Structure 1
Amino acid sequence: MLNPSARLVGDGVENPANAEALAEAARMFAVPCSFRDSRGLAGHLPELSTVDTAALLGGPGPLIAVDNAPGAESVYRAGPLRTAASIVVGNERRGIRPDVLRAAAKTVQIPMPGRGVNTLNVATAAAVALYYLLDAHGRRNARAPRPESHRPALLLAAPRDHVEAGSSLRSAAAFGWQSVAVDDREKVWFGTPRPVRTEARAAARSHRNPLRVVPAGDAWSPPPGGRVVVCGPDVDGPPLHRAELTGPNTVLVIPDGDGWEPGPGTGFARVALPGVAGRYRLLTGIVLAEAARQLGIRTAAVPRPPRRGLSYGSGLDLTVPPDADLVEPWELTRY
């Protein structure tokens, strides 16, 4: 049964695979999903549910825009919805169109502490927003102001699809992880054929992703004295947002399905979903968002006083001839 309290709307989404993943995110939370189709999605997905501009801007209920627009509120502070609303996510590159941002009753963003990748896949962002806007009552307090001393290690356990694994690694980098272990028993990341590897690295945004990915090995075991928390929709444990996910010597394990066997003494945190379990990237995004929320936002550094004495500036400007092409460094590495 669908939840009448919300609907998910994709505004100008252009990738059919992302549209299908958005529909799966909606099914996870038992809400309907529609698209304002300005990019020809219906030509690729005949069963696509669409909404025109008048119906989108005219209700029912307020519009909640998920976008990192100036002045957007953290989704962690937004609180659950009290009335029926349309939760809108935007185009993969351009975001939500200005008419929706102007009409939105509230704009929320997902804080991204990552140093390289600072955005999520659009479907992952939708799943995270739905998790916090529709539920997640009774959350644990954040650990700020020193979050990095409590950041847990992360193990992606037996991902079964290379694109899902790559998108999950993108999320890990965006939420501030610098290293992730992968139990790659399904051979989706290490030693894969070149076309598979290219797709996986593209999903991970490897050209600007500083994340270090290490193989966990078949005989992976937690560090001595370590605490392991397995997170998933089908485990027997407290709700994710009420479980302790951080702390020194803590390892978060996110298995893809039920093929990964935890060891003795393992703790569990349940991703409570009113609908069906969705793609691996959606699950990992929710878990990593909650762990990042519990860590808290790093306190801004106190600005240093200006140095005395001489200061130097550059008087050089970059001049590009009219017939020249600018090339990013990551493009050169492909040749």
Structure 2
Amino acid sequence: MSPPARLVGDGVENPANAEALAEAARMFAVPCGFRDSRGLAAHLPDLSTVTTAALLGGADPLIAVDNTPGAESVYRAGPLRGRASIVVGNERRGIRPDVLRAAARTVQIPMPGRGVNTLNVATAAAVALYYLLDAHGRRQARAPRPESHRPTLLLAAPRDHVEAGSSLRSAAAFGWQTVMADDREKVWFGTPRPIRAEARAAARSHRNPLRVVPAGDAWSSRAGSRVIVCAPDVDGPPLHHAKLTGSSTVLVIPDGDGWEPPPDAEFARVTVPGEPGRYRLVTGIVLAETARQLGTRTVTARRPPRRGLSYSSMLGHTALPNTDLVHPWELTAY
């Protein structure tokens, strides 16, 4: 049986991102290729490449994942009709114009965050594959106050500093302002300078307003809170069938099985047909689905302006003890 899609990286220049993109493809059991215009092959000899002619003139329709004007939300994207090439672009410049012109569809991942408003390219690919291949057709809700239902987020025992930083970048892009981190592997707090610099770069800390709060190895949930552990290898309903929102909800995303959930925890499974995938990819999918369930703020119509001019008095007369009150007309005598 042929795979339902192919993932293509267009002009990706960071070899580590290329490897993560290939891993995102393996999560969904689809092949991965690269239109290499940035010399990736010199760093990755086994890189699978795609020529411009094969990409633009092939039989597979192109689906571009890019935040361009007029792009449809990935949450509302319908099911794929036959095999397609899902294209993600360069880390800074995005997808090149020739692919955007040739694309049958362009989808975007809504980003409600302040400051950081883009995902790591591999994370964006994993989110797009999740909705285009499995959880398609699910609409983003609208609510008057979505922030009042935002759950607390706990990154539980991340094992790699770059994966942790990229996950924090995703949290900020999806609208979180504070994240708890159980940093028992010492990948974020108190790390040597080179590791700290790489982690902060992955998190885009120079334009990321996110606060990271240490949770401690002995973290325990607040009384009355609802803890949901989200991971590929847990026994629970599929992620997009679980209710992930609520001000008393704590979303826990563990990195592997080194974190022990509380006895009353619920579970939601990140269902993928292939390999479980690295931490940033799983985190991005969980946060995207939570953002979909939170919805966007309902826009209310503004009142039309009054016709004509209106005036109001901003000054008043007050007589204080032992003072003289001078009226404006008396000033004309001076």
TM-score normalized by the length of structure 1: 0.89
How far off its partner does 1:297 sit?
A: 1.2
- 1:182 corresponds to: 181
Do the aligned partners of residues 48 and 98 (structure 1) sit closer, same or farther apart at CA in structure 2, a change above 3 Å counting? same
CA contact (8 A) 1:3 1:30 kept: no
1:120 matched to 2:128? The reply is no
CA contact (8 A) 1:140 1:241 kept: no
- 2:265 corresponds to: 266
Do the aligned partners of residues 129 and 94 (structure 1) sit closer, same or farther apart at CA in structure 2, a change above 3 Å counting? same
- 1:58 corresponds to: 57
User: Structure 1 counterpart of 2:34, which letter?
Assistant: F
- 1:242 corresponds to: 241
User: Structure 1 counterpart of 2:72, which letter?
Assistant: E
**Aligned positions, number:** 309
Q: Which runs of 5+ in 2 are unaligned?
A: 312-334
After superposition, the C-alpha distances for 1:235-288 in whole angstroms (9 at most, x for unaligned) are 000000000100120000000011111011100000001000111000000000
Do the aligned partners of residues 281 and 201 (structure 1) sit closer, same or farther apart at CA in structure 2, a change above 3 Å counting? same
User: Structure 2 counterpart of 1:130, which letter?
Assistant: L
- 2:6 corresponds to: 7
1:277-288 aligned within 5 A:
277-288=276-287
- 1:206 corresponds to: 205
Which structure has the greater CA radius of gyration?
2
Q: Secondary structure at the match of 1:120?
A: coil
User: Structure 2 counterpart of 1:108, which letter?
Assistant: V
Q: Secondary structure at the match of 1:31?
A: coil
CA contact (8 A) 1:143 1:294 kept: no
Q: Give distance in 2, aligned partners of 1:70 and 1:264.
A: 47
Do the aligned partners of residues 4 and 286 (structure 1) sit closer, same or farther apart at CA in structure 2, a change above 3 Å counting? same
- 1:87 corresponds to: 86
Q: Give distance in 2, aligned partners of 1:138 and 1:242.
A: 13
After superposition, the C-alpha distances for 1:184-233 in whole angstroms (9 at most, x for unaligned) are 00000000011110110000000000001000012111111000000000
How far off its partner does 1:309 sit?
A: 8.4
Runs of 4 or more off by more than 6 Å in structure 1?
A: 304-310
- 2:295 corresponds to: 296
1:13-92 aligned within 5 A:
13-92=12-91
1:98 matched to 2:97? The reply is yes
Q: Secondary structure at the match of 2:113?
A: coil
User: Structure 2 counterpart of 1:227, which letter?
Assistant: R
Q: Give distance in 2, aligned partners of 1:78 and 1:142.
A: 14
Q: Give distance in 1, aligned partners of 2:137 and 2:101.
A: 32
CA contact (8 A) 1:240 1:271 kept: yes
Q: Secondary structure at the match of 1:64?
A: strand
How far off its partner does 1:301 sit?
A: 5.8
Do the aligned partners of residues 301 and 196 (structure 1) sit closer, same or farther apart at CA in structure 2, a change above 3 Å counting? farther
Do the aligned partners of residues 3 and 290 (structure 1) sit closer, same or farther apart at CA in structure 2, a change above 3 Å counting? farther
After superposition, the C-alpha distances for 1:151-183 in whole angstroms (9 at most, x for unaligned) are 000000000000000000000000000000000
How far off its partner does 1:302 sit?
A: 4.8
How far off its partner does 1:53 sit?
A: 0.6
Q: Give distance in 2, aligned partners of 1:100 and 1:218.
A: 47
1:196 matched to 2:195? The reply is yes
Q: Which runs of 5+ in 1 are unaligned?
A: 311-335
1:252 matched to 2:240? The reply is no
Q: Give distance in 1, aligned partners of 2:117 and 2:303.
A: 26
Q: Give distance in 1, aligned partners of 2:125 and 2:93.
A: 16
- 1:146 corresponds to: 145
TM-score normalized by the length of structure 2: 0.89
Percentage of pairs with the same residue: 84
Do the aligned partners of residues 97 and 137 (structure 1) sit closer, same or farther apart at CA in structure 2, a change above 3 Å counting? closer
Q: Give distance in 1, aligned partners of 2:126 and 2:289.
A: 12
Q: Give distance in 2, aligned partners of 1:305 and 1:212.
A: 39
Q: Give distance in 2, aligned partners of 1:149 and 1:275.
A: 35
CA contact (8 A) 2:77 2:137 kept: no
User: Structure 2 counterpart of 1:34, which letter?
Assistant: G
After superposition, the C-alpha distances for 1:10-37 in whole angstroms (9 at most, x for unaligned) are 0000000000000000000000000000
Do the aligned partners of residues 212 and 3 (structure 1) sit closer, same or farther apart at CA in structure 2, a change above 3 Å counting? farther
Q: Give distance in 2, aligned partners of 1:242 and 1:187.
A: 33
